[in-house]
Structure 1
């Protein structure tokens, strides 16, 4: 349930993506819509958007009639969020060390951010700590089995797939032991017209940081052509699938 994560490198990766992030963030929006459906309340809350990115869902919660704090590791992401006036308050920091008092928020919301943390147990305990009795923690994360198409194509070309190792559903459940955590699996498969647009989408959301580092340089044309031939496709185009888990904690 723990891994070493270079938070500075993660922040830099997302910072580089900040200006064009919203153009590529379809996965984040699809995931967030499903997660929002699990909310027990919709308005008149103090909301923490933990790992807010450019604040797409900060805006959604604010427009629904809530007071929102946008919180992110990346200063550049927060700058984009503040420029769009998506929240009431903006704070930079690490969701593994939340700088908020106990029982501050009615809703602690975190959409596709906790997979960039070292210790999920610490994150969930922190989320629970800053949430008021009667409030709710809602989070989504990527789990094992995601990006299988990418792994398949790389392995067919005898290359190490540039993919992080994600927690299994059982490990996510273990991280929430004793916290009354309820989990709901969810799968999303996205399709792209060509391989380059698929790879650009990964780069565009900042999801190219590898915890283990990279081997070799950029792909050359012949490698891209081979990967394109071996990439799983259907009538929609080049496929990229994610195995997600939605987590819900009702705070007593």
Structure 2
């Protein structure tokens, strides 16, 4: 599945989010922790963190004794990562055109980043290319049906939800056709005190960047009050449900 994605605009959106990213990144941490349980153990490995963000999981790999190369589309995200010394090397670049030689890494890790690929097949092929035989590609992405609370709330107000379309599990499997891949699916539901906090969490991690612009998605006080009335909630607050796909490719 091909998507029209303005990579420069994505980089700018994540650059704006960089300074406050970690305080909004609960989803990324929870998803990455699940993905980490699927990684085969090794010692003193060369690891690529593709779409590293501020480097939370770069640091996890490094603390476990591995040499990490942190890569991100956003220069500002890389600066945040480098300021925390989370990796051995830092490179600005695109997952769909990785600036590395074939078979450079023992593990290629990409937590909630490949959804920004214009062509997922190309992104996964690049991660596969730079992984050594016997290594692993570990990635996660959003699945279609994520954020149904956002969709329902905005539809109740007669507007399109300010979220991007996501891939199905079949789309991901087709993108990895010919590779030795296992897919795992899960749903994580997070709660926020109010609709504003929920929407801020999307913006704060860059997820609120829309490929097709912001038509109909403007937030003002009246719109927020309306969202507050229709947003799905439980005793914890306003809910955001994320459907996730975790992928493990064994490099042969």
Q: Quick one: distance in 1 between partners of 2:31 and 2:92? A: 23
Aligned residue pairs, count: 252
Correspondence for 2:227: 227
Q: Quick one: distance in 2 between partners of 1:179 and 1:95? A: 18
SS in 2 for 1:218: coil
Runs of 4+ residues deviating >6 angstroms: none
Correspondence for 1:156: 156
Q: Work out whether residues 44 and 67 of structure 2, in 8 Å CA contact, stay in contact via their aligned partners in 1.
A: yes
How does 1:132-211 map onto structure 2 within 5 Å? Answer: 132-211=132-211
Q: Quick one: distance in 2 between partners of 1:126 and 1:221? A: 45
Q: Give 1:196 shift.
A: 1.2
Q: Work out whether residues 42 and 64 of structure 1, in 8 Å CA contact, stay in contact via their aligned partners in 2.
A: no
SS in 1 for 2:174: helix
Correspondence for 1:44: 44
SS in 2 for 1:18: helix
Gaps of at least 5 residues in structure 2 are none
Q: CA RMSD in A?
A: 0.9
Q: Work out whether residues 161 and 217 of structure 2, in 8 Å CA contact, stay in contact via their aligned partners in 1.
A: no
How does 1:8-157 map onto structure 2 within 5 Å? Answer: 8-157=8-157
Q: Work out whether residues 186 and 245 of structure 2, in 8 Å CA contact, stay in contact via their aligned partners in 1.
A: yes
Deviations, residues 85-115 of structure 1 (Å, cap 9, x unaligned): 0000000011100010010000000000000
Give the TM-score normalised by the residue count of structure 2: 0.98
Q: Quick one: distance in 2 between partners of 1:143 and 1:127? A: 20
Deviations, residues 152-173 of structure 1 (Å, cap 9, x unaligned): 0000110111110001111111
SS in 1 for 2:18: helix
SS in 2 for 1:68: strand
Q: Give 1:217 shift.
A: 6.6
Deviations, residues 43-78 of structure 1 (Å, cap 9, x unaligned): 310000000000000000000000000000000000
Deviations, residues 18-48 of structure 1 (Å, cap 9, x unaligned): 0010111000000000000000115310000
Gaps of at least 5 residues in structure 1 are none
Q: Quick one: distance in 2 between partners of 1:57 and 1:10? A: 21
Correspondence for 1:242: 242
Q: Quick one: distance in 2 between partners of 1:136 and 1:86? A: 21
SS in 2 for 1:98: coil
Q: Quick one: distance in 2 between partners of 1:43 and 1:83? A: 26
Q: Work out whether residues 160 and 216 of structure 2, in 8 Å CA contact, stay in contact via their aligned partners in 1.
A: no
Q: Quick one: distance in 1 between partners of 2:31 and 2:217? A: 32
Q: Quick one: distance in 2 between partners of 1:157 and 1:56? A: 37
